[in-house]
A and B are shown apart, each in its own frame.
Chain A
């Protein structure tokens, strides 16, 4: 299966450790994050993360499911770039 860049948009609670957990979940599987952007949303208790990661559809889908399982993750969407 072909590897492709997927852009993940994650809305997460703005709490310590959340960024590390999310990044760790991706890098811990040996996948390289190409771009990472974190910023506030209008609701100051929620941050938005934009993560570009190279992987097959199957792997990225698995990553998304695991991200959604995280206690501080509110929502994850993705699109292929």
Chain B
């Protein structure tokens, strides 16, 4: 053993993160992480101090979604670690690579109910791809290398490394390994020649094919290959929510988004198709609706890197466990040039009879959909759009025209309110070459608003747009449609509240908080807009600013998201208003 190479586990951790090419660390300190924090001041990568550990994880997540590189986060034990759980679950279900490092009480104290002790790996297990509980300083470099490998290979996901304080302090000369080889985890898998042959044959024989592209296309960097296949074989393309940007929505072959709030053209095309080429999707219930009625006429080719995704929700005539990009690049030459004029004409008919549209409910009120179009215009369709969760998320999915991958970042599988603000900050750090716009609801914005200071103190020119409808709109919509308009717990303005909340109804200002003052208190430049005539100018001014800006848009509170296929219902039950 070479005595000179010994350094603390904490120092070895920071060195290992440098070796793993980490270029930004998000986090929040505390007692059991202090040895690591002590080494950060001379790390090669910058540290970003969030204001809540959930925010830190979402920032790392936004960083990862916008770059494809793993996001990295460091927090303390106990409450620091438990605050990461929502962020982990959000990344886990959407397959986002993260490495989250948590401090832990010294090994000798584990199990004693020590101060700020929590069974982090036990709690995180169900919401992460993998967890490590480090047992000695010597394990740290190898564990870091393995964590990055696991986070980024196979279906990506979040990995937790829990490091007891004594391991941070212990001395080690262990080195970062040159390469990682895991005994039991070998996720790489490729299509067989027979599978590729069969796939090409099915595509060549199809009369009414549809490509159905999901987040896996973006994760594998296969957007160009999807376009190549679509153009060559004349196949229209629908995407999932997570797949928005995997195919240019301005392309005549685009059907835009499918599913509960997808376009009629996308849903009807899947319903009528004789072949669905499903790429990097998991057939979520938000897309299939009533599963027994889903795509009744179609054979399904399902390509995904996750063997557990294939056959999980729908059965595929041909399932291929492989990287989407690899499959598409090799299958392309076997696919014949085709056009399907009748099929395309039918689809074009649906597109023109049922275009993506919305109606102005009253004069003098801003419709939320108009805000999306206004932002899209002001940013020339090139913004990185990050959303929170609710109605505004669906309007953002519907009323921007996405043309590039990694330009629409949203919590798809978990639907985590509070994701938007911190994820937008992470994306703005990662992609300074692009304008980042967060579209948030008045409900979700209040869940992680504290992170706005992070954007301000780092002078990030991100724009937060708060779609203020005075309510938890998506909940209010379901109550209107399915619960007899009993708006229990879903109204944020005082005047509209249910009697059971027993509020005095005599406030001067009905809409609380005042988001403009709140943003100003956080150091941001802020605007409020109520008048439809001023919408475009205000949005344009905010997105052009070099500072962190917030625009509170007071919108029509009763607007609903349409079209809608009610949960668990077939496409035939789509409602339009």
Interface residues of A (CB under 8 A from B): 12-13, 16-17, 20-21, 24, 28, 61-62, 65-66, 68-74
Contacts and interface: CB of A to CB of B under 8 A. Distances in A.
Interface string B531-542: 000000000000
Contacts of B131: 17
A70 B308 CA distance: 11
B122 A20 contact: yes
A69 B126 contact: no
A74 B183 contact: yes
A68 B312 contact: no
B308 A12 contact: no
B377 interface: no
B185 interface: yes
Given A17-B131, A62-B312, A71 B184 contact: yes
A39 B7 CA distance: 38
Contacts of A71: 129-130, 150, 182, 184-185
6 contacts: A20-B125, A24-B125, A24-B126, A69-B308, A71-B130, A71-B150
A20 B183 CA distance: 19
Contact of A12 (B133, B184, B306): B184
Contacts of B155: 69
Interface in B59-107: none
Given A20-B122, A24-B125, A28-B126, A72 B184 contact: yes
Query: Which 5 A-B pairs rank lowest in CB-CB distance, beginning with the nearest?
Result: A65-B308, A74-B184, A71-B185, A71-B130, A66-B308
Interface string B143-157: 000000010001100
Contacts of A68: 307-308
A27 B26 CA distance: 34
Given A21-B125, A24-B126, 20 more contacts: A12-B184, A13-B183, A13-B184, A17-B131, A17-B133, A20-B125, A28-B126, A62-B308, A62-B312, A65-B308, A66-B308, A68-B308, A69-B308, A70-B184, A71-B129, A71-B130, A71-B150, A71-B184, A72-B185, A74-B184
A28 B183 CA distance: 26
Contacts of A66: 308
Size category of the binding interface on chain B? 20 to 34
A5 to B, nearest CB: 22
Contacts of A73: 184
Nearest to B146: A71
A41 B173 CA distance: 32
B121 interface: yes
A28 B307 CA distance: 20
Contacts of A24: 125-126
Contacts of A61: 311
B125 A69 contact: no
B125 A17 contact: yes
Nearest to A58: B311
Contacts of A69: 154-155, 187, 306-308
A69 B130 CA distance: 10
B155 to A, nearest CB: 8
A55 B155 CA distance: 26
Q: Which of A20, A71, A73 has the most CB atoms of chain B within a 10 A radius of its CB?
A: A71
Contacts of B311: 61
A68 B182 CA distance: 14
Interface in B166-194: 182-185, 187
A12 B183 CA distance: 10
A56 to B, nearest CB: 14
B59 to A, nearest CB: 26
Nearest to A63: B308
A74 B186 CA distance: 9
Contacts of B307: 65, 68-69
Contacts of B312: 62, 65
Contacts of B150: 71
A43 B60 CA distance: 40
A24 to B, nearest CB: 6
Nearest to B132: A17
Contacts of B184: 12-13, 70-74
Contacts of A62: 308, 312
B316 to A, nearest CB: 13
Contacts of A20: 122, 125
A71 B150 CA distance: 8
Nearest to A67: B308
Residue with the greatest number of chain B CB neighbours at <10 A, chosen from A17, A72, A74:
A17
A66 B307 CA distance: 8
Contacts of B121: 17
A65 B129 CA distance: 14
Contact of B133 (A13, A16, A70): A16
Contacts of B187: 69
Interface string B111-154: 00000000001100110011101010000000000000010001
Contacts of B154: 69
A16 B129 CA distance: 16
A61 B150 CA distance: 23
A12 to B, nearest CB: 7
Nearest to A75: B184
B497 to A, nearest CB: 37
Nearest to B162: A17
B104 to A, nearest CB: 13
A21 B150 CA distance: 16
Contacts of B182: 71
Contacts of B306: 69
A71 B187 CA distance: 9
A29 to B, nearest CB: 11
Contacts of A16: 133, 135
Nearest to B182: A71
Contacts of B185: 71-72
A61 B311 CA distance: 10
A66 B92 CA distance: 14
A77 to B, nearest CB: 15
